[in-house]
Chain A
């Protein structure tokens, strides 16, 4: 029981991180119907920027952890958002109206480009990051096993829940959210009614990238190590989460992220850790084959 509870806590933390990345996939897919393959790389860049941000904070003598976390969080979100904006502007916008596979191929190219850019600029070796937040709280002990929740895990879950709530509010009741939903339903009609489609799509990428930056920062603090390749696996898992929850659906992305976190942690905890990635890939394949609309998504009808 104690072991189970501990795994559950770890799984929820991991699921929160995947959920944040998955929102970026799901929003972009909802609006322009493409898989933003480079999103995992945006997450990786967010992790790098926050690592460097923490180092700068340490260099400037900011010793209070909450101040540093807030500062780095805002910086990472802002600068990663520039990446999201630039990617859309250079690699995807010129391709609207091109043939079917063009945006996906361009996205794969972008992903390779970003990965190798970071490798070149920052080196290929994994970067160890010191832990910013230490300590935790022992919930209970059973079977000679302490069930602990660390402060970091609490921070991750709280930040994620807060961001997701804020985000749902933006989509549900601001004018930007209304424009996004309008573009999602019918881009041409929305533009006829005076919605600036280009701007809306750009902002979608910016928001997705900012959330990915938060996920990157949490990942960096949680695992304490980043390298240029983390975006690949995390990106695929988050994409799986988005598909599992129903791509295009925001609550679906959060639910999917949570489920993927649970599956990965419990698989590693109770079976073998070697095959935990295989388990996630297998779920992706199975969901796409048997229920391509996901748990909360609407079925898609291809129109002529």
Chain B
């Protein structure tokens, strides 16, 4: 080890030097607008600490990758201890930075052991059986928990709001999973269809007085039609061109909504959208003329939670419909054609699958579910504006799908809980949320391109799986 130490130190120093060059201007000088021109806050101490952490972090990771467990373990623990200790660092962010660096080194140190242990467990016969059953049981348990959740004692307004939000993203993730995960089409403008669904409901309900349940299928149809219209010309393109074009379409729809004031009321948005009803009963303290409230219908006292619980069940139902639909369609010829197309387009063409039509169905089906989710979103928020449908929203949905593992349904759930739930829960982290999204997308692609849940059952096998070796 002693012989290699200088090389390692040099490598770590180079990394730190690059980090210093990256941070020198952007982090070191913080520009502040004080009314009469810009002026600087100098943050060189922050920068120096960050660079030092990067130096030791790189050193620790190198130790770990060379199998030097104890030095890297010691470095990781030391960094973690410094970050968690009461030593006054200039910002809380730096505390987190140091702690995370320490944790990363420790994880990297134990990774080979953990990976080997997991690998043996997974490939043993018991592990295989357990894995299959476990996935099934886990899904069922999640479902039961989701159904029972509104009646749990901890389900206050904040929790329910968050649960509705997470479920919305789960549904969007499942919808996008059809396009990205199954058909392998990178759609960066998914939020456009979400916007179409939301504006369809907002306009039809406020202008023509249609209720939620009438508009829901219509919104899905509108969005699917948009998907067909947009998809038809562009689906002949290669994968990465398609991504850019869909992003362009997403932005066009947003800009049109922003500027076509007669239709969409422009940046001011559309307000006082009616919420969904249950057999004609509204969820409000007092019903409008000719209607009754849910509380009156059931003869129970009114509580504002009823509306949230109702919304929760609607989105749960919608999400489950999306999931079931996907599970089923994967076993139909068209679903198999999607997956085949994802793997090799030329081979599919040779086998007589029409790629454009097949992609188009995936695109339209994915758009339809976004349309459903969109009209739910409008009914829940009661106010929509183009601000809710920016590119970032598409990127968030995409990162949920990517992080979960493209094509994995349960992975989407975990990723949505992780990416949406955690930052909402810990409000302080809100500012770092998007950084974490971006970082997660890069890291997942580098280290686990198949996603967090890498396991994916083939939907069809040439020979039935053998029972054992």
Contacts and interface: CB of A to CB of B under 8 A. Distances in A.
A111 B437 CA distance: 11
Nearest to A110: B442
B335 interface: no
A279 to B, nearest CB: 10
A236 B188 CA distance: 13
A137 B388 CA distance: 45
A149 B188 CA distance: 40
B441 A109 contact: yes
Nearest to B396: A112
A263 interface: no
Interface stretch (B4-12, B102-110, B234-242, B305-313): B234-242
A172 to B, nearest CB: 28
Interface string B30-65: 111100011010000000000000000000000000
A217 interface: no
B81 interface: no
Q: Is the interface of B mostly helix, strand, loop or mixed?
A: helix
B430 to A, nearest CB: 11
A53 B38 CA distance: 12
Nearest to B232: A289
Contacts of A219: none
Interface stretch (A113-121, A183-191, A249-257): A113-121
Interface stretch (A61-69, A100-108, A140-148, A154-162): A100-108
A15 interface: no
Given A104-B186, A278-B252, A53 B438 contact: no
B449 A102 contact: yes
Given A53-B25, A55-B31, A112-B434, A304 B346 contact: yes
Contact of A51 (B31, B240, B244, B402): B31
Contacts of B329: none
Contact of B237 (A82, A91, A274, A288): A288
Contacts of B33: 125, 127-128
A120 B184 CA distance: 34
Nearest to A55: B38
Interface in B150-193: 184, 186, 188
Given A98-B445, A109-B438, A232-B391, A82 B252 contact: no
A91 B446 contact: yes
A174 interface: no
A90 B449 contact: no
Contact of B442 (A90, A130, A275): A90
A213 to B, nearest CB: 11
Nearest to A75: B25
Contact of B398 (A98, A102, A108, A275): A108
B248 A284 contact: yes
Contacts of A288: 234, 237, 241, 244-245
B145 interface: no
A122 B26 contact: yes
A48 interface: yes
A120 B29 contact: no
Contact of B241 (A99, A232, A292): A292
Interface string A233-255: 00010010001000000000000
Nearest to B392: A112
B32 to A, nearest CB: 7
B302 interface: no
B31 A35 contact: no
A163 interface: no
B399 interface: yes
Given A112-B441, A285-B234, A105 B398 contact: yes
Interface string B221-250: 000000000000110111111011101110
Sort chain A's interface into a size bin. Answer: 35 or more
Given A99-B449, A112-B395, A277-B255, A45 B435 contact: no
Contacts of A243: 241
B27 interface: yes
Nearest to A29: B240
A304 B348 CA distance: 12
B234 A108 contact: no
B259 interface: yes
B184 A116 contact: no
A106 B243 CA distance: 13
B446 A34 contact: no
A79 B21 contact: yes
Contacts of B243: 35, 101, 104
A129 B27 CA distance: 18
Contacts of B29: 52, 55-56
A109 B247 CA distance: 15
B442 A281 contact: no
A282 interface: yes
B111 interface: no
A115 B251 CA distance: 18
Interface in A276-304: 277-278, 281-282, 284-285, 288-289, 292, 300, 302, 304
Contacts of A136: none
A205 to B, nearest CB: 14
Contacts of A215: none
A86 interface: yes
B25 A284 contact: no
A49 interface: yes
A95 interface: yes
Contacts of A56: 29
A83 B186 CA distance: 26
B439 interface: yes
**Of B38, B249, B392, most A-chain CB atoms within 10 Å:** B38
List the 4 closest A-B pairs by CB distance, nearest first. A109-B441, A113-B438, A112-B438, A106-B445
19 contacts: A49-B26, A52-B26, A79-B25, A95-B446, A103-B445, A105-B402, A106-B446, A108-B398, A112-B435, A112-B438, A117-B26, A236-B244, A243-B241, A281-B248, A285-B249, A288-B234, A288-B241, A288-B244, A292-B237
Given A104-B243, A108-B188, A130-B37, 8 more contacts: A35-B240, A52-B29, A55-B31, A105-B398, A105-B402, A121-B30, A128-B33, A281-B248
Interface of A: 34-35, 45, 48-49, 51-53, 55-56, 59, 79, 82-83, 85-86, 90-91, 94-95, 98-106, 108-118, 120-123, 125, 127-130, 232, 236, 239, 243, 274-275, 277-278, 281-282, 284-285, 288-289, 292, 300, 302, 304
